Homo-oligomer: A and B are copies of this chain.
Amino acid sequence: MYEDLARRCLDGEVRAVARFISLLEDGNRQAYDAMSAFASTMGRAQTVGITGPPGSGKSTLTDKLIGYFRSQGKKVAVIAVDPSSPFSGGAILGDRLRMQGHAVDPGVYIRSLASRGQLGGLSKATAFALRVLEAAGYDLLIIETVGVGQSEIDIVKVADTVVLVSVPGLGDDIQVIKAGIMEIGDIFVVNKSDRDGADRVVREIRAMLETQAALKRGRSPSAGPDTLASRSAELLHHGQVGAAAPQQTEEIEPEDLPPVMKTIAETGEGVPELGALILTRYENDRQSGALENRRLGSIRAQLRDIAAWQLMDRLADSGANGRLDSLAESVQARNKDIYGAAKELTDALIKGESI
């Protein structure tokens, strides 16, 4: 049945796609096993992640981008994700898009995914839903998330192109949060750019990107992607304890920085330019080999995540027969520390003991 469903997805059957994604969302393991049918279509589509704080107009922008990509002959699928809102968020995001008229266009598929409370469950379902949608023949996959927390970052960072949307007038707290995700942005958009303060936001983003570039130049070429974050944390930490922060004296080449664009999604201003940039950057990255490198890194990271999820599933299964309970009771009775107790559990699992 699952293989049949997968085959119908490959034929582009919308109902089968919807069903398959629901099964993934439910954590159905047979559906995950049936994903092997999509090995040959892996990486066929361009994925675009769009995120930014609530109120930045992401849904309207996504709506207008759908229109642009359709005008370029692309089939478009959107996954609207709300990691923080099991109650209503996902539905609201998706509904906003559906209401805007694309529901009747067979070249557009819109789908909401909302959290069902498991750690990592949503980013897992999203990552796999993308594979189903590209198998079904969509050329351009948009992942839209609301909010700017760690879960949102985890979800959009798998995209080929990440668009970070900000907006004038959201106040400092929001801007502080935004700072945390600067590193994953390929294209920065200041939406509602007819509002007061738009140019200031553009300048602030450029300044943050320059700081980031300076930090990057300070790191060794062999350093991994976590380095910038750790270095920033270090700098901050040193700042806190009163030690002198290392000086960054390197020159910054502005042409290396990600572009910062202004849009007014409501009227469509700036949207064709943004859409065109999304497409041309992808094409350039594909031709230069940069895309392949980026995707290999992303596949590697996903492989590790998926393997970890599978191990967690095995742990969840193993909890059924009491070992987990008895260890938890020992910890509560202060006979064991929680870290050591967890180690007993993993050792048993690795050794293949019945637990």
A interface residues, Cβ below 8 angstroms from B: 22, 32-33, 35-43, 54-55, 82-92, 94-95, 112, 114-120, 122, 128, 131, 146-154, 171, 173-174, 176-177, 179-183, 208, 225-226, 228-230, 232-233, 236-237, 239-240, 292, 295-296, 299-300, 302-312, 314-316, 319, 324-325, 327-329, 331-332, 334-343, 345-346, 349-352
Q: How far is the CB of A264 from chain B (nearest CB, A)?
A: 19
Residue of B with least CB distance to A211: B87
Which partner residue on chain B sits nearest A82 by CB separation? B180
Give Cα A40–Cα B330 distance, bound, in whole angstroms.
11
A-B contact pairs, 7 of them (CB 8 A): A39-B335, A43-B332, A146-B173, A149-B150, A303-B331, A303-B345, A307-B349
Known: A42-B331, A91-B239, A310-B342. A84 touches B150 (CB 8 A): yes
Instruction: Tell me whether B149 and A332 are in contact (CB under 8 A).
Output: no
Query: Are B150 and A303 in contact, with the CB atoms below 8 A?
Result: no
Give the chain B neighbours of A309 by CB distance below 8 A. 342
Residues of B within 8 A of A229 (CB): 86-87, 115-117
Please, how many angstroms separate the alpha-carbon atoms of A36 and B337 in the complex? 5
**Complex CA–CA separation, A305 to B339 (angstroms):** 10
**A237-B349 Cα distance, complex, nearest whole Å:** 36
Write out the residue numbers on chain B whose beta carbons fall within 8 Å of the beta carbon of A325.
300
A89 touches B179 (CB 8 A): yes
Q: Are B89 and A42 in touch, CB under 8 angstroms?
A: no
* Nearest CB of B to A286, in Å: 13
Q: Please name the 7 residue pairs, one residue from A and one from B, whose CB atoms are nearest each other, closest first.
A: A149-B149, A54-B173, A85-B180, A306-B342, A86-B229, A39-B337, A150-B151
Given contacts A55-B173, A304-B319, 7 further A-B contacts (CB under 8 A): A36-B339, A83-B149, A90-B236, A131-B338, A149-B152, A303-B331, A311-B311
A338 to B149, CA, bound (A): 26
Whether A88 touches B343, Cβ cut-off 8 Å, given contacts A146-B173, A147-B147, A302-B338, is no
On whether the beta carbons of A296 and B332 are closer than 8 Å, the reply is yes
Contact of A331 among B179, B230, B299 (CB under 8 A): B299
Whether B147 pairs with A54 at a CB distance below 8 angstroms is no
Cβ–Cβ contact B307 & A346, under 8 A: yes
- Are B337 and A324 touching (Cβ within 8 A)? no
Question: CB within 8 A of A338: which of B35, B89, B228?
Answer: B35
Distance, CA A346 to CA B317, complexed state (A): 15
Q: Quick one: which of B240, B308, B352 contacts A312, CB cutoff 8 A?
A: B308
Contacts A84-B148, A88-B179, A314-B350: A339 and B32 contacting too (C-beta < 8 A)? yes
Q: Across the interface, which residues of B come within 8 angstroms of A173, CB to CB?
A: 54-55, 146
Q: Which of the listed residues A33, A307, A340, A345 has the most CB atoms from chain B within 10 Å of its own CB?
A: A307
- Complex CA–CA separation, A340 to B149 (angstroms): 30
Tell which of B38, B304, B324 touches A315, judged by Cβ atoms closer than 8 Å: B304
A39→B336 contact, CB < 8 A: yes
